[in-house]
Structure 1
């Protein structure tokens, strides 16, 4: 089968090597006589996968001591509620940055649970830019300050992070493990797997251990971070197959040279696309401030919506799918996560050139 180049924002493209390894072991996992998705989550086979996945996350990100890595269900959307439930006391407050569609959803849930101070609102710029990180400060008595490190819909990405007195909480669903970072800058990092880590179904939460003590006993067990930290993320049956796939993707990342090598590769892919946009005359246009353009989700417009529809259709016919922009903003979006090979981006750039020549 000839594989297409998958530019969907998520669920997103995965490394072929990881998919092939899963295929090889799907029916008979490493000679155990049954599939991993059939065996008990308490079995030695799954225990090895579970432990290895957490260890690989710690190794690749350089997670320091004093942090717990949790493997949870519910997607990043559940974290929009779990973070304030666990970190913000009754009658308390938090700070948030409003940088795009996903930050807006996190903001809406936090408002239901306490007072939210908006320390940055990108609405006036249609979420096409970000603030200088040095200008973002937490307010007095704030429980935490929340950012979205990369907005998949609007295509903006924090290149550096604020230094705040309150714990910094980051939704990194769409750019986690795409570049090195200092975990000790953050109180919590969370990320749905379905962009850079694996299939949907599991969410990674990295939490500083002292913050676990903030969780009130009144919370339902599953919504309490302490529950999962104490049980090693085995309080209930975890999403076994999703976690297994994350392990395979993390092993692939190691073979690529780790996060330093991946960051360089991602910058190169993004530069190819942005250069194609900037050198097209006015045929292609990226609305995002060049200082904050995402290396993961490249958004751009064509001279008309009719041409954008034609662009998506013709690209699909040549084996490049998922290029239609989000329905809320329109345009074109090329999601070029870790597993998107450089040749896929090069093919898209070549298509962009020929399409512009034909329709300029």
Structure 2
């Protein structure tokens, strides 16, 4: 039996309707407190380390430097020079240019950082599978399709401090399709981690909703469509749950009119776990309580009938498609 945590970056409690989005609201859902960065709004760079450690950004140390995350070797070296030579506003613009026009990624801090800093995480001492969690990178040399798509967006997603949401897109519809592909990939990988039966904790993450939201100030229907599709994808993950499995959805902040909002969200199949989370700093403790108080030992899973689709129906479908 497995606890599945799915991080949906920028899932906004004000945009989730239980009637329209039953799989984004699950058995219980609520808005929770988040933490603003020095830039005045919540930051993905800071908040996912907070979620996996339970510590505020100043405690875990992965913080923004005047709104720009200097969190990898390229940007670290630039920061060393910039702190001495450049005004703050120009640092921010240079950082934005680097993140738009190079392969640098501000969310690729290695998992070894935490041990080196004497910090513990939700994953320590457990049979756990982290999938794409920002600033908790287990294998820096490994990238999945979400990483590849994000790093190749080019003018589909350019940083622009003058734009409403801080970003612009040369082709919002094409951009939307790539973002939803990212979301599908990470939900699929999370489903595979669950179905494999090898882990007590599977923690997946996707930035798809956040990316769409940053350009949706110009095309609000894109954000509505993204929530509808995300609900369907999470429904497929929900359908993979066995008795005793739990699913928790977590966001780091909301996003409306292209701008991060000051509330995050949780939703879950276990109302008690949801009730225990009032802030992004509470997620770790709530998940650990569930893992400690209930048996979530990894166990092999066997194929079974799901949602009324049995073996004979599957066989008929395969025959119709010419595979049998």
TM-score by length of structure 2 reads: 0.27
Larger relative contact order (C-alpha < 8 A, sep ≥ 6)? 2
